[in-house]
Amino acid sequence: AIQMTQSPSSLSASVGDRVTITCRASQGIRNDLGWYQQKPGKAPKVLIYAASSLQSGVPSRFSGSGSGTDFTLTINSLQPEDFATYYCLQDHDYPLTFGGGTKVEIK
Amino acid sequence: EVQLVQSGAEVKKPGESLKISCQGSENSFTTYWIGWVRQMPGQGLEWMGIIYPGDSETRYSPSFQGHVTISADKSITTAYLQWSSLKVSDTAIYYCVRHHVHSSGWRLDYWGQGTLVTVSS
């Protein structure tokens, strides 16, 4: 199975900060990667698919980049509602595999 | 709007069987893949497998193959996840999620609300 290594596992940031989360695949996955946000007690929600395509309805402060093995989720000007846990997911091959998650907390 | 409505929380004993459900809100249920994702207490997300309700083709993660069965009844737009013999380690929230095929992969775009399964003696 393709392993997804996500970093950092947690971070503290302030409202207005720019936040970057990275994900590395154990082998090349082209651009077959998505980013998901999960708030406590809620189901995850897709933010980005195909590495850089913004899901409809998601604010433009979220952006994704990368291809091959290295990917980045960037949140520009962090908002109070963005404090959550973020997961990458490779959908290049079965089984689909998630990264370990990044918890974004308030500084 | 697409909705996936899951069955309610369950409390079971080790060794018991269980089948949880996920009902879709639209007739196009049979033209999308529906999958299941596990989240153990305080842990991350794990992809378990998917089914195409149109013809019941399934794909499993090796981590779950043989321990769970994914099925669907397209006539009632419902997908299922079942266990024949639960373990304490099956305690988790289970999400059903629609897998939307796009040009180069999948997009998990609609999620159920989650079903909490607690297995305890």
Q: What is the dihedral of CA B118, A82, B111, A51, to 10 degrees?
A: -120
What are the tens digits of pLDDT across the range A23-79? 999 999 999 999 999 999 999 999 999 999 999 999 999 999 999 999 999 999 999
pLDDT given for residue B103 in this prediction: 78
When the pLDDT of each residue in chain B is averaged and rounded to a whole number, the result is 95
Calpha distance B49→B38 (Å, rounded)? 10
What are the tens digits of pLDDT across the range B26-69? 767 888 999 999 999 999 999 999 999 999 999 999 999 999 99
Pairing of strands B10-12, B115-119: parallel
Strands (E), chain A: 4-7, 10-13, 19-25, 33-38, 45-49, 53-54, 62-67, 70-75, 85-90, 97-98, 102-106
Q: What is the largest CA-CA distance in chain A?
A: 38
pLDDT band at A18 (very low <50, low <70, confident <90, very high): very high
Q: Evaluate whether B2 touches B108 at the Cβ level (below 8 Å).
A: no
Calpha distance A4→A74 (Å, rounded)? 18
Nearest to A50 among B102, B109, B111 (CB): B102
Closest CA to A23 of A56, A57, A64: A64
Judge whether B114 is closer than 8 Å to chain A, CB to CB.
yes
Q: Which residues of B touch A50 (CB under 8 A)?
A: 102-105, 107
Q: What are phi and psi of B61, to 5 degrees?
A: -70, 140
With a pLDDT cut of 90, the percent of chain B lying above it is: 88
Nearest CA of chain A to the CA of B117: how many Å? 15
pLDDT band at B104 (very low <50, low <70, confident <90, very high): confident
pLDDT given for residue B7 in this prediction: 98
